[in-house]
Structure 1
Amino acid sequence: MLATANNSLIAGRTTIFSPEGRLYQIEYAMEAISHAGTVLGVLAKDGVVLAAEKKVTGKLLDLTGAKEGGYGGSGEKIFLLNSNVIGGVAGLTADANSLINHARTIAQRHLLTYNEDIPVEILTERLCDMKQGYTQFGGLRPFGVSLLYAGYDPQYEFQLYHSDPSGNYSGWKATCIGANNGTAQSLLKQEYKDDIEVKDAIGLVLRVMSKTMDSTTLGSEKLEFAVLTLDPETKKPKAKIYRPSEIDALLQSEGLKKEDEEMKP
């Protein structure tokens, strides 16, 4: 019986290396992410800006929670991981929800143990350890999602990290994941400056999103937006995930508000 069980376990394994030493499952996951909604992050001197393209849209979709309840956002692309960290996800939403919940648990355990917010890189590393584990055991598949982490800690201040399904992570000044990430990276290379401030980073992010989103419209129904800054009074990180009305006002102020074709008479 034991031999039969072992044989069936081996037959169910999906962790297969190519002759070049690559994992096919990771390649497939990365390909799925390249078709997901764009998520873009920019690191500024005084904060971090995140923006994401929503794919799940429709006139019958109930967005009451995003407009009135919670902390803002639709719960599809941008999440509050801790008081000092915001996460943006591209890929399979179900996988993302699982990782987001795990990240929040890690952050709360650290807060309970050390009575301080978890450093951004430690949270990223812990989540990547879990993601990497799913690439090396038979019968499991990797998480089909990449994440951007926008965070702050007193030692290294504002930071922006990116992690992929393999468990690799890296720090960035500005980066993009999801669809059209190549175009977005090219635009960011041209326009990003090391001494950029949040107010200018917001304009840069919105301009890049307007050129890379697969849509003729640019409004709150297609966009999520978040900013992490320091509270001027408490000197503690303050995360703000914008509500739909705030996103529309922001686009209007930047001169990027596009009229929805369906709303024209």
Structure 2
Amino acid sequence: MARRYDSSTTTFSPEGRLHQVEYAIEAINNAGTSVGILAKNGVVMASEKKITSGLLAQARTSEKTYKLCAHATCSVAGLTADANILIDQARLRAARYYYQYQEPIPIENLVEHVCNYKQAYTQYGGLRPFGVAFLFAGYDEAHGFQLYQSDPSGNYSGWKATVIGANNQAGKSLLKTEYGVSRREEGGGDGDEMKTDDDDDADPSDAIEMPDVAEACRLAVKVLNKTMDGAAASAEKLELFTMTLDENGKCVHKILSREEAKAVIAEVDAETASAGDT
């Protein structure tokens, strides 16, 4: 029965499902892993690089991380060709907003525009969903640094730390235990145990102390170590990106060099080895 609805993007199955959207999400779950972590002084994104052939010329630009405008970047998991269309849409929207209002576009406004474009491809006949998920990182004066995740359905949500791509559930489980763990340990437990009678309505996540960029880089490598199939993460197999502010309050986009990535991986290995000895 379900086969009658497989080829149609716009027809719901009797169970209320859109099979083509689910297939697009499944394609993303088989793609290279991308990690996004919100830090107190920036945003860190780490991605697994799929090396298909040793004969492939090294690209001068990243295939996983793309700059959208001066204050926004995205990381991609899924079909790069589909991602290119949506990245162009995001860049066009950001440029038009600046031309019209003479100020940078708010990050959520930019994310919403891209997700509305994605959602349209699940609503009209003769189209298929975009087989790509994004992690959007950016900064604006109203809300500071922000991290968003979106999927082929056009849905998006804000996160402090998240994972897309292969083995994302394993990565999210690690983030739940490692993100802000030092503050929770100082409080004697998780966020719920730290509450008092006067803040029953408080958000438990507010009790989490956000890491700095250096700590977030190490945590991102730990996540990739857990999600990548086979050998542990190496500088050749991953890409580390950081977004911070300079002394003038301008966003600085940086992809860590191979030597810098090796240094972060060495710190993680040393930390893991010391934890194993205790």
C-alpha deviations, 1:113-135, integer Å up to 9, x for none? 22222111011000001000010
Tell me, yes or no, if structure 1 residue 58 matches structure 2 residue 58.
no
C-alpha offsets along residues 209-248 of structure 1, whole Å, 9 cap, x if unaligned? 11211131422321111111111x2012211122334323
Question: Is 1:221 the counterpart of 2:236 in the alignment?
Answer: yes
Given the alignment of the two structures, is residue 252 of structure 1 paired with residue 266 of structure 2, yes or no? yes
Q: What is aligned with 2:129? A: 142
8 Å CA contact 2:97, 2:104 repeated in 1? yes
Q: Which residue of 2 aligns with 1:160?
A: 147
CA offset digits 1:48-82 (Å, max 9, x no partner): 100011124432221152xxxxxxxx431111111
Q: Which residue, out of 160, 174, 193, partners 1:187? A: 174
Normalized against structure 2, the TM-score is what?
Answer: 0.80
Q: What is the aligned counterpart of 2:251 among 219, 237, 246?
A: 237
Maintained 8 Å contact 1:146/1:162: yes
Opposite residue 239 of structure 1, the aligned amino acid is H
- Range with bigger deviation, 211-220 or 192-201: 211-220
1:49 to 44, 56, 75: 44
**Counterpart pick for 2:79 among 89, 92, 115:** 92
- Identity over aligned pairs, percent: 53
2:221 match: 206
Count of aligned pairs? 236
Of 45-54 and 213-222, more deviation after overlay is shown by 213-222
Residue number in structure 1 paired with 2:212: 197
Decide which of 92, 107, 122 is 1:120's aligned counterpart. 107
Give the CA deviation at 1:142. 0.6
Aligned equivalent of 1:71: none
AA matched with 2:264: L
Q: How far 1:14 moved relative to its partner? A: 3.8
Please report how far the alpha carbon of residue 13 of structure 1 lies from its aligned counterpart in structure 2 after TM superposition: 5.5
Partner residue of 1:106?
A: 93
Do the aligned residues in 2 keep the contact of 1:78 with 1:225 (CA within 8 Å)?
no
Higher relative CO (Cα under 8 Å, sequence separation at least 6) belongs to 1
Aligned mates of 1:141, 1:169 — CA distance in 2:
19
CA displacement 1:183-216 (0-9 Å, x = unmatched):
0000000011132211111111111111211131
Q: Which residue is equivalent to 1:70?
A: none
Alignment of 1:167-182 (within 5 A): 167-182=154-169
SS in 1 for 2:127: coil
State the match for 1:82 in structure 2: 69
SS class of match (1:81): strand
Q: Which runs of 5+ in 2 are unaligned?
A: 1-6, 181-207, 271-278
TM-superposed deviation, 1:144:
0.5
Could you report, residue by residue, the CA deviation over 1:151-173 in whole angstroms, capped at 9, with x for unpaired residues? Answer: 11000001100000010000001
Q: Aligned partners of 2:26 and 2:82: how far apart in 1? A: 15
Asked if the contact 2:35–2:163 (Cα under 8 Å) also holds between the matched residues in 1, the reply is: yes
Q: Which residue of 2 aligns with 1:21?
A: 16
> Higher mean Cα deviation, 55-64 or 82-91?
55-64
